[in-house]
Structure 1
Amino acid sequence: MTRNWLILADDLTGAADCGIAFARRGLEASVGWHGVEAPLGGAVLAVDADSRRLSPEAAAARHAALLRARHRPGQGLIKKIDSTLRGQPAAELAATIRALRNDGRPALAILAPAFPATGRTTLDGRVHLDGEALEATPLWARDHSYENAALTEILASVDLSSRLLPLGLMRQGEAALARALRDAMADGLDAVVCDAVLPGDLDVLARASLPLAGQVFWVGSGGIAAALAAAMPDGHQAPLPSPASLRGGVLVVVGSVAEASRAAAERLAAEAGAPRFEVPPAFLLAGPADPLWRPLAASITDALEAGRDTLVVIRADATADLAQGAALAEGLAGLLGPAAARMGGLFATGGETACALLSHLGVHGIRLLEEVEPGVPLGITQGAIEVPVMTKAGAFGDAGTILRSLARLRHLSTESAT
Structure 2
Amino acid sequence: MQRWLILADDLTGAADCAVSFARRGHAAAVAWGPAGIAEETVLAIDADSRRLPPAQAAARHAALLAAPPGPGAALYKKMDSTLRGQPAAELAASLATLRAAGRPALAVVSPAFPATGRTMEDGRVRLQGAPLEASPLWRRDHTYPDADLRAVLEGAGMTTALLPLAALRAEPGAAARAVRAALEAGQDALVCDAATEADLAAIAHATLPLAGSVIWVGSGGLAAALAGALPMGHAPPPSRPPPRRTGLLLVVGSMAEASRVAAAEALAGGGLRRFGLAPALLRAGPGEWAGTAGAIAATIAAGEDALAIIEEEPGADLRQGAALAEALAALLRPAGLAAGGLFATGGETARALLAQLGVHSIRLLEEIAPGVPLGLAQGGRAMPVITKAGGFGGAQTIGHARQRLRAWLQQEAQA
Q: Where on the TM-score scale, by shorter chain, does this alignment land: which range?
A: over 0.9
Pair 1:357-2:362 in alignment: no
What letter corresponds to residue 316 of structure 2 in structure 1? A
Pair 1:235-2:232 in alignment: yes
Q: 1:38 to 1:260 in 2, by over 3 A?
A: closer
Q: 1:272: Cα distance to partner?
A: 2.2
Is this contact kept in 2: 1:24–1:238, CA < 8 A?
no
Is this contact kept in 2: 1:24–1:237, CA < 8 A?
no
Pair 1:24-2:23 in alignment: yes
Match of 1:337 in 2: 333
Q: 1:149: Cα distance to partner?
A: 0.2
Q: 1:172: Cα distance to partner?
A: 3.1
Is this contact kept in 2: 1:49–1:62, CA < 8 A?
yes
Structure 1 runs not aligned, ≥5 long: none
Match of 1:414 in 2: 410
Pair 1:225-2:223 in alignment: yes
Is this contact kept in 2: 1:24–1:369, CA < 8 A?
yes
Match of 1:172 in 2: 170
Pair 1:346-2:342 in alignment: yes
Structure 2 runs not aligned, ≥5 long: none
Q: 1:68 to 1:334 in 2, by over 3 A?
A: same
Match of 2:45 in 1: 47
Q: 1:241: Cα distance to partner?
A: 6.7
Pair 1:15-2:14 in alignment: yes
- 1-structure distance, mates of 2:176, 2:36: 39
Q: Secondary structure at the match of 2:269?
A: helix
Choose from 178, 202, 205 the match for 1:204.
202
Choose from 374, 379, 398 the match for 2:370.
374
Match of 1:405 in 2: 401
- 2-structure distance, mates of 1:412, 1:273: 18
Q: Secondary structure at the match of 2:367?
A: strand
Q: Secondary structure at the match of 2:338?
A: coil
Deviations 1:37-80 (A, max 9, x none): 34413111000000000000000000000111234321010000
Deviations 1:129-185 (A, max 9, x none): 111100000100011001100011111101101011001121134422111101100
What letter corresponds to residue 303 of structure 1 in structure 2? T
- 2-structure distance, mates of 1:46, 1:342: 28
- 2-structure distance, mates of 1:172, 1:238: 38
Q: 1:308: Cα distance to partner?
A: 1.3
- 2-structure distance, mates of 1:246, 1:183: 56
Match of 1:93 in 2: 91
- 2-structure distance, mates of 1:396, 1:39: 28
Q: Secondary structure at the match of 1:54?
A: coil
Is this contact kept in 2: 1:25–1:238, CA < 8 A?
no
- Deviating more after overlay: 42-51 vs 240-249: 240-249
- 2-structure distance, mates of 1:236, 1:189: 33
Q: 1:71 to 1:188 in 2, by over 3 A?
A: farther
- 2-structure distance, mates of 1:204, 1:410: 38
What letter corresponds to residue 22 of structure 2 in structure 1? A
Match of 2:270 in 1: 272
Alignment of 1:248-397 (within 5 A): 248-290=246-288, 293-397=289-393
- Deviating more after overlay: 212-221 vs 36-45: 36-45
Is this contact kept in 1: 2:84–2:141, CA < 8 A?
yes
Match of 1:63 in 2: 61
Q: Secondary structure at the match of 1:122?
A: strand
Q: Secondary structure at the match of 2:173?
A: helix
Deviations 1:280-306 (A, max 9, x none): 11211121132xx11111110111011
Q: 1:239 to 1:170 in 2, by over 3 A?
A: farther
Is this contact kept in 2: 1:242–1:415, CA < 8 A?
no
TM-score by length of 2: 0.96
Is this contact kept in 1: 2:26–2:232, CA < 8 A?
no
What letter corresponds to residue 317 of structure 1 in structure 2? E
What letter corresponds to residue 387 of structure 2 in structure 1? T
Alignment of 1:144-159 (within 5 A): 144-159=142-157
Q: 1:218 to 1:112 in 2, by over 3 A?
A: same
- 2-structure distance, mates of 1:247, 1:54: 40
Match of 2:158 in 1: 160
What letter corresponds to residue 75 of structure 2 in structure 1? L
- 2-structure distance, mates of 1:240, 1:408: 18
Q: 1:411 to 1:307 in 2, by over 3 A?
A: same
What letter corresponds to residue 209 of structure 1 in structure 2? T
Is this contact kept in 1: 2:341–2:405, CA < 8 A?
no
Match of 1:129 in 2: 127
Q: Secondary structure at the match of 2:246?
A: coil
Q: 1:415: Cα distance to partner?
A: 3.0
Aligned pair count reads 413
Match of 1:5 in 2: 4
- 2-structure distance, mates of 1:48, 1:338: 25
* Sequence identity (%): 57
Q: 1:319 to 1:299 in 2, by over 3 A?
A: same
Q: 1:197: Cα distance to partner?
A: 0.4
Q: 1:29 to 1:287 in 2, by over 3 A?
A: same
- Deviating more after overlay: 241-250 vs 321-330: 241-250
- 1-structure distance, mates of 2:244, 2:18: 24
